[in-house]
Each structure stands twice: as structure tokens, then as C-alpha cells.
Amino acid sequence: MNRRTLARLVLTGLALGASLGLTPAAAEEATLRIGYQRSSALISLLRQDETLEKALKPLNVAVSWHEFTSGLPIMEALNVGRIDVSADVADTVPVFAQGAGAKITYIAQEAASPEAQAILVAGDSPLKTVADLKGRKVAVTKGAGSHYLLLAALKAEGLPFKSITPAYLTPADGRSALAGGSVDAWVAWDPFLSAAQVQAGARILRDGTGLSAYKRYYLASDSYAQKRGDVLTLLVAKLREAGTWVKANPDAAAERLAALWKIEPEVVKRANARRSYRVEPVSRDGLAEQQTIADAFHGEGLLPRAIDTSALAIWDAPTR
């Protein structure tokens, strides 16, 4: 074979490889960057036993993990390209992210868990009903699912959001504020909710039953959802398996998560009992409450502009 023939074959091979996406860069190991919160139970389990890394190895994809204090910073990181996928975030989080112009795609959801968030008061508080919150100071994490629960609970009593004084705090600071008496109530989600009950004797004033479905959503950047359906398919399958395992093995799941979260297994078991952990595809009809949430926040002036929640993309998961 002469030099001219060899060069022609090399060039032909490179052109064919490029047409198939087999460039030198594609041969390198890719990395799936996942943003999560401490309360991201299923992702925490996958991270602990490296289940996802093992599943993605045949695709030559590694995983990096990035912890955030709440859902909104995760959405910001997703929007600016610092991460590719978010672990479960509360139903309100995509709404606020969309209001800020984020380009994100729903990829899966955990089915409704209305009892997994609640308005709490101290065990010896004189407050008995949501109506008693009028004129009181309430700790809540801005933009979290608990924020919408507070809005919905007040509305059910005929009270506008301005009838209370919000203290926008992280879960840890909210619990400290309630324990210290600097707020009259605190709106929390599990496992923080169960921890406050078990460890501090906090009392539930009202949970989300009949007020907020409290679904939790997994999202990806638009670009990642469009490019890496193979990775998302494996991720969702592993999340579904983890959710099924947690519900089938409550004691073992509580022990594992308790060790990760550094809290008592009793707390985790109570929290897990309230969460569905049923990982499902997202449907347009199933997102109806998202518009209700957006309208509620906009009506109270907490969302700067009206949005159409149906404008966010839904990843077209392959049929099993």
C-alpha cells in the first residue's frame, strides 16, 4: 500500500467516524454531573453504593456529585451548565426556575406525598389552627414546596400571604428559629419534619393533605435531555429500582439513610413512610398543579411574572 492510498483510507475513516459521532472527544469518558440536596433520598442511596456508576460504565460515562442547600440553587446551576441533572426537587422549584428563564426539562417525578411536608409549631404552642397564624412570624424556605403549602393553607382559611410575616430561612435555621422562639411556626419537609417531631416534640398544625400534592421532580438541562437520552434512561431506571427497594425494606432503608444523614433511624423511617418514592414518567396532564402553583405565587407578588408552566419540556422517556 503506497502513501497516497493509505492517506485516502485514513481520511475516509475519519469522515465516517465523524458522521457517526465517533470523534476523538467522543471516545473520551463523559461525566454526568448531578446536583442534589441532603434530603435527596434515592440519589443518596445510588451515590452510596455506586449503582449508577456501574450502570453507566458500558456507556463510558462517569458521575460527579454536587450538593446544594436547596432546590433553587440547583436550578440555577442547571441553567448555566454547571450540572446536567437535578435530583428530586419540590414542585415549586421548576416554577420559580421557569420564572427566571431557566431552560430545563422534566425527566421523571416521584408520585404525590402530601403528608411529607407540614406547618409545625412548638409542642407547647398556644396555636391550634392555621387561622391562628394571622399576625404571626412563620419560617419558610423561599421557593420550596413548603412555601406553596403555606400559601395554600392560608388561602383555605381566607387569609392572604401578607397576613403573616415570613422569615425566609434554610431548614436548619428554620428549626433553630422555632426552637428558640424567634418564629411562631415553621414549614418543613421530610426528613426535617420528622426530625423536629421526634427530637424536639414539634407539633403539626397542618400537613399538605387536601392542599398540596407535593410531587418531587427530576430535571435536566434542555441540551442534556436532547443529547443523552441513553444516560437518562439508565438513571430513571435506577431511581425506580431504589424507590421500590426503600418501600419494600423500610428498616434497612432507614438504617442506610440514617448513617448518611447522621440522624436516628426512627426519624428516617417515619419520614420514608410519608414519601411515596414511586418514580414515574411525567405527563402533561399530571403537571396541572404546576400552573396552580405558579398562579398562586404570581397572585401574591412572589413570582415576578405570569408563566405558562406547560412551556417547559418533558423528556420523552422510552416505553418499558
C-alpha cell at 251: 428498616
C-alpha distances in angstroms, 168 versus 27, 217, 275?
Answer: 47, 22, 24
CA 131, distance to chain mean position in Å, is 30
Q: What is the pLDDT of residue 257?
A: 96
Residue 14, φ and ψ in degrees, nearest 5 = -65, -40
Residue with cell 476523538: 24
- Mean pLDDT value of segment 309-315: 94
3-class DSSP state for residue 78? helix
Q: What is the pLDDT of residue 302?
A: 86
Q: Residues 41-71: pLDDT tens digits?
A: 999 999 999 999 999 999 999 999 999 987 8
Which DSSP string do the residues of 241-298 spell out, in sequence order? Answer: HHHHHHHH-HHHHHHHHHHHHTS-HHHHHHHHHH----EE---TGGGHHHHHHHHHHH
Catalogue all structural domains in the chain, each as residue range(s) with its CATH number.
Answer: 8-112+215-314 (3.40.190.10), 114-207 (3.40.190.10)
Q: Residues 261-279: pLDDT tens digits?
A: 999 999 999 999 999 999 9
pTM for the whole structure? 0.85
C-alpha cell at 117: 411536608
C-alpha distances in angstroms, 306 versus 176, 228, 292, 298?
Answer: 34, 31, 11, 6
Q: How far apart are CA 185 and CA 189, in angstroms?
A: 13
Q: Worst-scoring range by mean pLDDT, 5-19, 178-192, 200-214?
A: 5-19
Q: Which amino acid is at 150?
A: L
Does pLDDT of 197 surpass 50?
A: yes
- Mean pLDDT value of segment 190-207: 96
Closest CA to 271 of 214, 194, 200: 194
Sign of CA pseudo-dihedral 68, 164, 301, 157: positive
